[in-house]
């Protein structure tokens, strides 16, 4: 029996997927209207899984989707190589798909066998002879692709903010904007990213080349009701096992609606119940949550090693007292043991790394899973388990 709760890879179209109905409909309306879109959220929030659901619907209407992942791109040459490989892969796949279909052929060629003298009509797919030297030329080939394949094209560029690393002056962004301004409705770009501050600057700053160049959509936490209903229904369909709403609501609360952590808990709970349906659910839930919290502690301990101690102290104080409306007040400084200059520097560093955000209510931690790490980073496994015992009671 297959576990319905997919983890460690994006959820494919047709696999169990937790709602996101409003976001899916919003994206489809914009894409079908030929609007460029930028979709952003924290990492592990399910951007690619959501795009897979949208792409599946579009495929049923005759669309093709190309994914270009810029996660590990550090220089312009690497960007060009990834774009080139993605383009060649699609050209190749469509050559196979079009083979033998004369009405779809880019060019029909009459050939004669020199030995037999017999003629035959064959399909030829001609590439331009010009070598690709520039990013602009590469992107122009993407503009041509819909006509070659006779299909609409969704071009998904993941972690788009990475181009700022090797082009902070906006030159690469300007090239993308320059080319995409010439596109017709045959190609629709969808930009994905996980660095909220950088992406908003790229698309919403008046000085940026892509200013107002795409419609924004931020992906938030999974709503509690959606999570509870989804998990209970999948357990009912597959294992015929009733998971209490109260328990799932507590899990959602603990993880702050974080999509990946909620999915991981459900996946491990499903496997455990598959092996033994007579488990004590509360004890099992505590055991699984301790495992997940410990894994998150390892992840964020490594990520935040670069911060000075005073920054971590500030970060932890924000997590414990959020929203922090007056971080420079005498009371806050006294409670944290920090001085004004440390708070100023710390807030700037944390905000630059998308660790905290200033809202109307005050300063908050951005990532629910990181908030969890800050709460339990100095706890032992036994102390975490004891705390969870009271939490689930």
Q: Write the DSSP symbol of residue 133.
A: -
The CA-atom distances, in angstroms, between 148 and each of 82, 142, 153, 294, 297 are: 20, 10, 11, 51, 50
pLDDT at position 16 over 60: yes
What SS3 state is found at 67? Answer: strand
What is the rounded CA–CA span in Å between residue 18 and residue 88? Answer: 34
Per mean pLDDT, which of 52-56, 128-132, 164-168, 298-302 is the most reliable? 52-56
Both tokens assigned to 309: 């101690």
Instruction: Please give the biggest Cα pair distance in the chain.
Output: 96
Q: How far apart are CA 302 and CA 392, in angstroms?
A: 29
| Model confidence at 11: pLDDT above 50 | yes
pLDDT digits (tens, 9 = 90+) for 348-382: 999 999 999 999 999 999 999 999 999 999 999 99
Q: Which contiguous run of DSSP H or E holds residue 83? A: helix 76-98
63-to-48, 89, 176, 216 alpha-carbon distances in Å: 17, 16, 22, 22
Looking at per-residue pLDDT, the higher value among 86 and 324 belongs to: 324
Question: Which tokens go with 20?
Answer: 């996101």
pLDDT digit string, tens, across residues 85-97: 888 887 766 555 5
Instruction: Collapse the DSSP code of 85 into the 3-class scheme (helix H, G, I; strand E, B; otherwise coil) and give the result.
Output: helix
Task: Sort 142 into a burial class: Cβ within 10 Å, 0-12 / 13-18 / 19+.
Answer: buried
* pLDDT the model gives residue 334: 95
Across the range 318-343, mean pLDDT stands at 95
Residue 282: its pLDDT value, please? 96
pLDDT value at residue 115: 47
pLDDT at residue 80, as a whole number: 86
Domains of the chain: 21-104+133-218 (3.40.50.300)
pLDDT on residue 108: 44
Q: 162 or 77: which carries more pLDDT confidence?
A: 162
Tokens (6 digits) for 132: 């690709």
CB 286 within 8 A of CB 389: yes
Mean pLDDT of 100-115: 44
| Main-chain phi, psi angles of 258, to 5 degrees | -65, 120
List the structure tokens of 124: 């030829």
DSSP string, 234-296: HHHHHT-----HHHHHHHHHHHTT-HHHHHHHHHHHHHHHHH-TT--HHHHHHHHHHHHHHHH
For residue 127, the 8-state DSSP code is: P
Interatomic CA distance for residues 145 and 90, integer angstroms: 9
| 65 contacts: CB under 8 Å, gap ≥ 6 | 51, 55, 58, 59, 153, 154, 155, 156
DSSP letters for 205-225: -TTSTTTT-SEEEE--PPPHH
Decide: 40 and 194 in contact? Cβ < 8 Å: yes
Q: Is the pLDDT of residue 56 over 50?
A: yes
Q: Reply yes or no on whether the pLDDT at 139 is more than 50.
A: yes
Q: What is the DSSP string of 7-45?
A: -SSPPPTTS-----HHHHHHHHHHHHTT--EEEE--TTS
pLDDT > 70? residue 121: no
Q: How confident is the model at residue 118 (pLDDT cuts 50, 70, 90)?
A: low
Cβ-based neighbours of 256, under 8 Å, separated by 6 or more? 221, 368, 369, 371, 372
């Amino acid at each position: 029996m297959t576990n319905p709760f997919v983890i460690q890879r994006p959820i494919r179209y047709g696999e169990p997927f937790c709602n996101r109905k409003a976001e899916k409909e919003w994206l489809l309306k914009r894409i079908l209207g030929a609007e460029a879109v930028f979709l952003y959220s924290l990492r592990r929030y399910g951007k690619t899984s959501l795009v897979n659901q949208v792409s599946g619907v579009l495929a049923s209407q005759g669309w093709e989707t190309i994914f270009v992942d810029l996660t590990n791109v550090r220089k312009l040459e690497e960007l060009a190589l990834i774009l080139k490989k993605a383009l060649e892969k699609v050209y190749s796949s469509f050559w196979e798909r079009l083979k033998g279909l004369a009405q779809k052929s880019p060019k029909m060629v009459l050939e004669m066998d020199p030995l037999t003298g017999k003629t035959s009509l064959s399909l030829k797919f001609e590439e331009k002879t010009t070598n690709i030297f520039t990013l602009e030329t590469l992107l122009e080939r993407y503009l041509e692709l819909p006509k070659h394949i006779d299909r609409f094209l969704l071009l998904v560029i993941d972690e788009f903010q990475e181009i700022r690393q090797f082009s902070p002056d906006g030159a690469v962004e300007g090239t993308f904007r320059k080319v995409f301004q010439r596109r017709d409705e045959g190609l629709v770009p969808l930009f994905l990213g996980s660095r909220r501050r950088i992406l908003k600057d790229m698309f919403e700053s008046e000085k940026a080349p892509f200013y107002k160049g795409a419609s924004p959509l931020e992906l938030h936490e999974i709503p509690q009701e959606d999570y509870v209903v989804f998990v209970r229904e999948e357990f009912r369909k597959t294992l015929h096992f009733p998971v209490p709403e109260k328990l799932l609501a507590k899990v959602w609360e603990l993880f702050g609606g974080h999509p990946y952590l909620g999915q991981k808990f459900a996946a491990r709970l499903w496997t455990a119940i598959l092996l033994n349906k007579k488990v004590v659910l509360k004890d099992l839930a505590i055991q699984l949550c301790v495992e997940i919290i410990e894994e998150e502690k390892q992840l964020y301990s490594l990520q935040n090693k670069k911060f000075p101690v005073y920054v971590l102290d500030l970060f932890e104080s924000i997590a414990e007292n959020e929203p922090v409306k007056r971080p420079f007040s005498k009371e806050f400084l006294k409670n944290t043991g920090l001085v004004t200059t440390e708070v100023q520097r710390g807030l700037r560093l944390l905000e630059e790394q998308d660790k905290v955000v200033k809202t109307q209510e005050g300063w908050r931690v951005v990532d629910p899973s990181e908030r969890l790490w800050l709460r339990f980073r100095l706890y032992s496994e036994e102390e975490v388990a004891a705390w969870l015992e009271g939490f689930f009671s």
